[in-house]
Amino acid sequence: MFSVWRSLCRRPVRTGLTVAGVAIGIFALTILGGMAERMQQLAAGSMAVWARSVAVLPGRAGPFSELILPQQVERVRNVPGVAEVRLRLEFPFAGARGGIPGLAPMVSGVRPDDLAPVPLQSGRRIGEGEREVAVAGSSLAEREKWRIGDEVEVYGRTFVLIGVAAPLLTPADEWLYVPLADAQEVLVTASPLLQTAIGQRDGAGAVSEHDGLFRIEDVATRLEVTWAAGADPEELTRRIQQEVPELTALSPHMMEELVRERLRLLRAVVLAGSIVGLAVGAVSVVNMMLVSVTERRAEIALKRALGATTGRILRDVVGESVLLCTLGGIVGVAGGGVLAHLLNASGILGYKGLFLVTPRVVATGVLMSAVLGSLAGLGPALHAAKLSPAEGLRRD
């Protein structure tokens, strides 16, 4: 081990540059891996929420294509196996700054009991019959620097913040919860087309499903359907899709698969970026070790002449390469962890807590650097092991 350290210290500048090359690759792996870990944590939280109901979404083109009509809601309620259908209304919160990539801030219209399972960090929940009050997700409130009692404007309408949810590690951390009736009125006010439709409904009385007209209290962008005791959610999803084909029904299993597919894509991106970074580091390590072996021909030849075995030469050269890369890995992981912490604390990317550097990320970074050292040092080690004592001493 002492001889390995001595070899690395002979050329400190070259050693430092090689360590830096490896560190850059591991640094990128740590940052990307930290983001992937956070996305996986968010996805796990989302799947836990979706596991409790069948999601029913709009699925047709044309006017009001992003809404679910009241006649469709009734048809869903009449499907055998349905226990309860809850209207949900969600739309982008244009007044908030951007959040975590792919998770834009949203306004969510809720009933008081919808918030019962949501733990609070401060304040209180929306009470029965309350209007123009709001509860903010933890990330949204922190980024916007909201405090209890602050006024929040949503498309020209003012809400008083009465609560902040505890961190859930789900997309709901970016939501602003308001009473469902208020959310419906806000969306209608912001949409001249909806205003016209509701005006026609009020004057026309009963209308057919194809009119696409409804009352303010009918406005919904999503349904949460819970199943009766003993019902199979997968079978219920198929029934809903058959009975109301113009809507899209997603079972908990289907939602889980959608999330897993996105996570697989994210992991592929992380892996590709890491491979590129590590390949650059590997080239620098191979070059350094080849130069090192060439410079130390006489030393290696002398060791062979004094009885050093081929295995000993291989261990020395590969050990030097592994130590070099491991140092780079430690530096890269440390640098990535520090930057991730600073970015999380500052929220400069629009979201506090975007990166989660777990022990798994740290272990992967250090382990991959050690493996890289083993592979990168193998070629130069074989070259050194083949060097005959006479040839090495004669050249030098």
In a domain, 33, yes or no: yes
- pLDDT of 348 over the 80 cut: no
Q: Among 215, 245, 275, where does a domain finish?
A: 245
Range picked from 3-7, 302-306, 331-335 for highest mean pLDDT = 331-335
In a domain, 268, yes or no: yes
pLDDT tens readout for residues 51-66: 788 989 987 544 455 7
pLDDT tens readout for residues 84-125: 999 999 998 876 555 554 567 899 999 998 888 888 989 999
Q: What's the pLDDT at 65? A: 57
Q: How far apart are the C-alpha atoms of 87 and 123, rounded to whole Å?
A: 26
Give Cβ neighbours of residue 106 (< 8 Å, ≥ 6 apart): 90, 91, 92, 93, 171, 174, 175, 176
Q: How confident is the model at residue 17 (pLDDT cuts 50, 70, 90)?
A: confident
Q: What's the pLDDT at 356? A: 87
Q: Among 187, 216, 245, where does a domain finish?
A: 245
The SS3 of residue 247 is strand
In a domain, 8, yes or no: yes
- Pick the closest to residue 144 from 132, 131, 161, 157 (CA basis): 161
Quote the number of domains for the chain. 2
pLDDT tens readout for residues 23-50: 888 898 899 888 888 877 777 766 666 6
Contact yes or no for 139/351 (Cβ under 8 A): yes
Contact yes or no for 107/176 (Cβ under 8 A): yes
- pLDDT of 5 over the 70 cut: no
Range of the domain at 290: 2-44+259-395
- Pick the closest to residue 213 from 227, 194, 240 (CA basis): 194
In a domain, 55, yes or no: no
Higher pLDDT residue, 22 or 394?
22
Q: Among 245, 279, 298, where does a domain finish?
A: 245
In a domain, 161, yes or no: yes
Whether residue 158 sits in one domain with residue 95: yes
Q: What's the pLDDT at 296? A: 66
Whether residue 187 sits in one domain with residue 95: yes
Q: What's the pLDDT at 202? A: 47
Whether residue 74 sits in one domain with residue 125: yes
In a domain, 66, yes or no: yes
Contact yes or no for 27/336 (Cβ under 8 A): yes
